[in-house]
A and B are shown apart, each in its own frame.
Chain A
Amino acid sequence: METSIERAPSVDRDQTTIYEQLTARGVSRRDFLKFCGWMSACMGLGADGMAQIAEALETKKRIPVIWMHFQECTCCSESFIRSSHPIVADILLDKISLDYTETLMAPSGHQAEASLQDTIKKYHGEYLLCCEGSIPTAADGVYCCIGGKTAADIVREVAEGAKAVIAWGNCACSGCVQAAKPNPTSATPINKVITGKPIVNVQGCPPIAEVMAGVLVHLLTFDRIPQLDALGRPMAFYSRRVHDTCYRRPNYDAGLFVESFDDENARKGYCLYKVGCKGPTTYNSCGTIRWNGGVSFPIQSGHGCIGCSESNFWDAGPFYQRLSDFPGFGIETTADKVGLGLGAATIAGAAAHAVLTNIRKHHEIGEQPGESAAEAPPTPATDSHGKGGK
């Protein structure tokens, strides 16, 4: 079975539609439509979304894809190829569209470089550039070089002829762990290196496979960049907080909180807010699409969200504390500790000032000459100036 699918691609992949290539590889009409329906549901499209996707795949040619790897761990690729649906990874991208990717392609060395240059020339202005990883800019970018060229040079060169750019994962979107303080290599997200191209930030460490597939299918189906939020993330997957889609949310509203990971409340599945869950500040689809084909997600497994689809989530820690530490005051100094310290200093200052006032201004304090009750003029003498001093 496997071999027959492998042997099938005798069709010219530039001349035939995606649907034709899929069926040539043994995908049934039924499976194809199931995939379209499933993608449509993931993307939150309306009732006709499935038909739109099916029509697009039936009528459109493939999009050539160049998939680059820079400062990253390849967990985005790992996530993607583990998508629960075979069409996504094995067929849609890997065997149909992918023209260059360091980790999955057969050629290496000069052959690989030649295939990259071929793709850039042949599909100039048409191909999609997918980037995994951040770009180091310190020391002229020597911290990440491929084939003798720096990541910054490569990405600029490849992006120049790209139709659009997809930044996969937190590395490409905001630098992830290598951009955490002190960021020794000046790891820089893609959107700060490339200008003048539409860039989609598909956040997460890694992004959910279905989200990655959904973004690709959206580009394929609608031929335009999906609606993005203020941080460049597709609204279809990143418009709601993990908190808003969390099945433990009723516990939050009811004030039922886990206080430590080994307490009775943790066993009962209460909200993980107080043990540092970053769900309330994290935008992702973990609560709805979940992971590994919808099996689970971190909160369901009893661990708080660490906020991996947000910028600087490594520095916004600790992971098991609600608010970040206050910078510059050492470990475990929260804003509240700083505030309490300043409050105590303020009260001490006010008390000292009060003492000083009684010493320096003692002539002005209390009864002054002519102010004793005995000396007071008969009323209403003090009102002689009349009312309304406006």
Chain B
Amino acid sequence: MHATASSAGAPGFQRVYVWELPVRFYHWLNALCILVLTVTGFIIANPPAINTASEASFSYWFGTTRFIHFVTAYVFVFNFAFRIYWGFVGNQYADWKNFLPLRLAQFREVMSVLKVDILQSSNRPLLAVGHNALAYLTYFVMFLVFLFQVASGFAMYANMSDAWFPHLFTWMTPLFGGDAGLHFWHHLATWFFILFTLIHVYLVFYHDYVEGHGVLSSMAGGWKFLPSSALKSPDGKSWFGGAKAREADDKAGPVI
């Protein structure tokens, strides 16, 4: 799709190791946790009446469902904490500074992504080695929802537990007027993850389909396959994952 690459016959592609093993591990464990939490969460909110005419002492399936929800919540929390840690020690694509578009370059890339990929008013290729700036921003919002789910969930859980950790979040309860308000917003925020997953999966397919850089498999092996011409930018050592794409953009003139 790059003019230079395609005219010269086979494009020169380079394999770039983008997602380190801890990032991939985090991603899939996180995905599993969210799946389990969502499914058990909906069962807890509206349990099917599958048992009838039996003694309560024969069965504990609903208690078990709740137990799975709570245990998974702990796994989710520590996995999330690990990812935050990795934002400080991981490679440039995992860096925490990518997640907020505080620099002008990042903000411009957000606008470019909106034009090229979402509205498709421009067809000029965009190349982000890590995530693009809009994706990073979306993940930042998702992290905020993570924090809310953790805080509201553990605030509700605190009254069933003597452990210190859930009691760190009891300040949430008065903010929502009591447990009922917490339940409501905790339940509502679950829908964010469902909508997020729909769009996330769609966009991964979209990028792989249009760009062919192997973004779908990158979360399995860690590699993306990128045009070597675009990777050979002068400084070549920017911490910002999307910077190289932006430089390539600048050379090609402004996005329409």
- B residues within 8 Å of A by Cβ? 1, 6-17, 45-63, 65, 91, 118, 120, 123, 125, 159-160, 170-171, 173-174, 177-184, 187-188, 190-191, 194-195, 198-199, 202, 206, 209-211, 226, 228, 231
Does B9 contact A254, Cβ atoms closer than 8 Å?
A: no
Residue of B nearest to A361 (CB): B210
- With a cutoff of 8 Å between Cβ atoms, the chain A residues found around residue B125 in the complex are 364
Task: Looking at the assembled complex, report how far the CB atom of A235 sits from the nearest CB atom of chain B, in whole angstroms.
Answer: 11
> With A and B bound together, what is the CA distance between A280 and B228 in angstroms?
59
Asked whether A311 lies within 8 Å of B15 as measured between CB atoms, the reply is: no
- Which of A123-131, A217-225, A285-293, A351-359 forms contacts with chain B? A351-359
Question: In the complex, are the beta carbons of A281 and B178 less than 8 A apart?
Answer: yes
A-B contact count (CB 8 A): 188
Q: Out of B7, B16, B123, B182, name the residue touching A361 (CB < 8 Å).
A: B123
For the complex of A and B, the 9 pairs showing the least CB-CB separation, nearest first, are: A339-B191, A253-B63, A389-B16, A281-B179, A255-B62, A250-B56, A254-B59, A311-B177, A254-B56
Task: Give the nearest-CB partner of A370 in chain B.
Answer: B9
Q: Measured between alpha carbons, how far is A354 from B201 in the docked complex, in Å?
A: 13
B47 touches A274 (CB 8 A): yes
Residues of B within 8 A of A253 (CB): 56, 60, 62-63
Please, how many angstroms separate the alpha-carbon atoms of A390 and B208 in the complex? 21
> Given the complex of chains A and B, what is the CA–CA distance between A383 and B59 in angstroms?
60
Q: Is there an interface contact between B57 and A254, defined as CB atoms closer than 8 Å?
A: yes
Q: Is A307 in the interface zone, CB < 8 Å from B?
A: yes
Is B191 within 8 A of A312, CB to CB? no
Complex-state Cα separation, A383 to B10, whole angstroms: 12
Q: Is A346 among interface residues, defined by CB-CB distance under 8 A? A: yes
Interface assignment of A85: CB less than 8 Å from any CB of chain B: no
CA distance A230 to B49 in the complex (A): 35
Flag if B191 contacts A371 (CB, 8 Å): no
Contact A312 B177 (CB under 8 A): yes
B211 nearest in chain A by CB position: A364
| A70 contacts B by Cβ under 8 Å | no
Binds B, one of A7-15, A54-62, A92-100, A316-324: A316-324
Say which residue of A231, A252, A385 sits within 8 Å of B62 (CB atoms): A252
Q: Provided the pairs A231-B178, A254-B59 are in contact, do residues A338 and B191 lie with their beta carbons within 8 angstroms?
A: yes
| In the assembled complex, A377 has its CB within 8 A of some CB on chain B | yes
A295, CB-defined interface residue at 8 Å? no
A357 near B209: Cβ-Cβ < 8 Å: yes
